[in-house]
Structure 1
Amino acid sequence: MAGFDAWRAGARVGRAWRTVGADVALVPLAEMGPGWQQAKENLAGPDNTLFIPLDGRDHDSGPMLLSFLSGGGPSTLVDAVGTGRAASGVDLLDIDRVRDHLAERPLIGLCRSGEQDTVLAGAQGLAGRRVDLPLRERLALDRMLRAWADLLAASSSDPSGPADGATLAATPGSGAGGGAGAVVQALGGRVLTGPQALGEIADLDRTIAAADLVVTCCEDFDVDAWGGPVVEYVVQRAAAAGRPVVVITATNHVNLTGQRRNGVEAVHAIGTGDITDACLTFAQSWFW
């Protein structure tokens, strides 16, 4: 919510439920970015997991990962996804060296919500989605991405890695970050969204299973975003556990039918006033 990170906003909402007598467990969730890092620090101290942002839109993580793998040379992976040019002349990626460098550290690639299921190649892959390109260029780009997946798969001697390039290119998340997700997966890592990663750190499913009610927050609740990726993730996890979800938001533009259709029992709009005070009456109506 505006002016507050996930932890502070949640604490103010939780205070309303505590005031009416409820036991409250606070789990901060956020999308990839500064808010995500703050939420992670609020959840736990340092751990052994290496989190790499897969931000292909900023042409950041793709070049960084390929440069790391190929000994410092420049990457054209993300550039190729953007322009349809051929891949660089790199013909060997030292996957095993990087895996040794990780020294058994778990590896998580953090992607934007919505990218966790994208694949590298094929009709639904990065090239297939480039409707702005002529068909010939899309096909050429797809061939390059398949060759890239073959190179990644062939460069690893670890039996736990991808069986072959075709398998890697079709793995959900391989297309995240402009293809950087495939590198993470070739290294034995996983691709998760910001909320998913924080949910795992906090063992969110166990917390939800022990709850009678799940409360989440967003800035706006409307038919365009339905509260955004954090609300979507919370609703998904609560539905799996059979727990009701209510949403605290600054503004609400969705009627009850729309709320229920999207897995939300109720939405409470609080405007710009004090969060705790604005939630008290609503909390009383959702406490038993």
Structure 2
Amino acid sequence: MRVLVASDRIGSLSSADAGQAIALGWRETAPDAQLAVVPIGEAGEGLDQAVADLLGAEVTLLPGDPDGSAVASCVRAGGVLLVAVADATADPGGWDPSASSLAVGRALADALDADRTPPDRIVLDLSRSAAHDGGAGILAGLGATADRPLDHGAAGLSGIGHLDLGPVRERLGATVVDLAVPADETGRHLLGLRGITSLRGRDADVDAATMLATDAALESFAAALTRAGGDEAAAAAPGAGAGGVAYGLAALGARVRTGGDLVAELARLPQTLRAADLIVTGCTTFDFARRGGGVIAAVADWGAESMTPVVLLAGTVLIGAREMRTLGIEAAHAVHPSPLAAQPDVTPGQLTALSARIARSWAH
């Protein structure tokens, strides 16, 4: 039997550690099984560690933002450069038109400058962005200049006319750029009623006049970027509003992707999926509210596309059999059967033991 193990983090176990524990238990019951373990993570939720484990690299810290508010990490291996930045002073997805994505651009610039050989692919994790400046700050961090400040958030972009992207194009060259975002952000728009300003403003109960002014400033930025050679259609494309900051690089050709899509491509999974008889995945809590998160959704899609059954192992399962099958999960099994809200952590031994028990029903 050929089994693909692609688990999210489970408790304090990384994706790779959880996958190895599952594989160990499976081999105890079915020693002849062919197992492939692929680390996987969602943007902002273990993607950097999963990519590092997949490529045999380490997650390292980059020099922080000068004011100490942002923490940046990166992974370098196999021609891939992944950069993730978390702003510790602001609430991602909140309303702050003065918040800038400058720290993201600076971190990417620092990472690029530290390498003698340009990467073949850049992965920029935008899931922890606290800005919604359309990525103007990112472009500024990469060297872009304009006749309005690019690092004062959306509020500073009103009336922008001239934008020079030359330094950005020089830095990025022909490198493929992927913008990693959670799955529910891939359809997020930049402007209008479905745009990032409207959504965040309504959630924060911001008055209509302020939202309209902010949206108009972003529209001015989009027009300036188009005049500077950016893709005219990018501002209206789904995903332009992802993280509040995806548009700037998307207009220069960057792709908005989920963590699952990126890992599948990096691991060359299509061939493995075609050969697999079963996919085993996992998460900390499998309930109807989060449905296991973006990793489980990605794995379920893989199973549906390849017509391969998907089995899930979790710390706790709080969803019925009928509901889980509508989500593409054949069966789900819990380490901790009690439905209590607070559960103890999952150890490798517990996960291995659960996997060994489940394998018995699939080994013959």
Q: Which of the five TM-score ranges fits, normalised by the shorter chain?
A: 0.7 to 0.9
Pair 1:220-2:267 in alignment: no
1:35-58 C-alpha deviation (Å, 9 max, x unpaired):
322211222233121122224643
Q: Tell me the residue number matched to 1:148.
A: 221
Return 240-249 or 91-100, whichever deviates more.
91-100
Q: Tell me the residue number matched to 2:43.
A: 32
189, 194, 198: which is aligned to 2:259? 194
CA distance in 1, matches of 2:128, 2:209: 23
- Aligned pair count reads 274
How far the C-alpha of 1:93 sits from its partner, in A, is 2.7
**TM-score, normalised to structure 1's length?**
0.86
Q: Which runs of 5+ in 2 are unaligned?
A: 1-9, 56-76, 80-119, 337-345
Letter in 1 for 2:152: T
CA distance in 1, matches of 2:163, 2:309: 48
Q: Tell me the residue number matched to 2:142.
A: 68
1:220-264 C-alpha deviation (Å, 9 max, x unpaired):
011111111100111112212211111110100111111111111
Q: Percent of pairs identical after alignment?
A: 31
Change (3 A) 1:138 1:88: closer
Q: Tell me the residue number matched to 1:172.
A: 238
CA distance in 2, matches of 1:268, 1:141: 48
How far the C-alpha of 1:169 sits from its partner, in A, is 1.6
Q: Which structure has more helix as a fraction of its residues? A: 1
Q: Tell me the residue number matched to 1:53.
A: 125
RMSD, aligned α-carbons:
2.3
CA distance in 1, matches of 2:40, 2:284: 14
1:76-114 C-alpha deviation (Å, 9 max, x unpaired):
33xx3xxxx352565333334312221211111122331
38, 41, 60: which is aligned to 2:52? 41
1:122-171 C-alpha deviation (Å, 9 max, x unpaired):
22111231312223333322222222221222212xxxx51x2xx22211
> Secondary structure of the residue that 1:217 maps to in structure 2?
strand
Contact 1:270–1:279 (Cα < 8 Å) also in 2 = no
How far the C-alpha of 1:173 sits from its partner, in A, is 1.3
Change (3 A) 1:230 1:55: closer
> Secondary structure of the residue that 2:352 maps to in structure 1?
helix
Pair 1:5-2:14 in alignment: yes
CA distance in 1, matches of 2:246, 2:280: 31
Q: Which runs of 5+ in 1 are unaligned?
A: none
How far the C-alpha of 1:74 sits from its partner, in A, is 4.8
1:2-54 C-alpha deviation (Å, 9 max, x unpaired):
12111111111112223313111111111224732221122223312112222
Q: Tell me the residue number matched to 2:270.
A: 205
**TM-score, normalised to structure 2's length?**
0.69
Contact 2:157–2:220 (Cα < 8 Å) also in 1 = no
317, 320, 323: which is aligned to 1:258? 323
Change (3 A) 1:74 1:140: closer
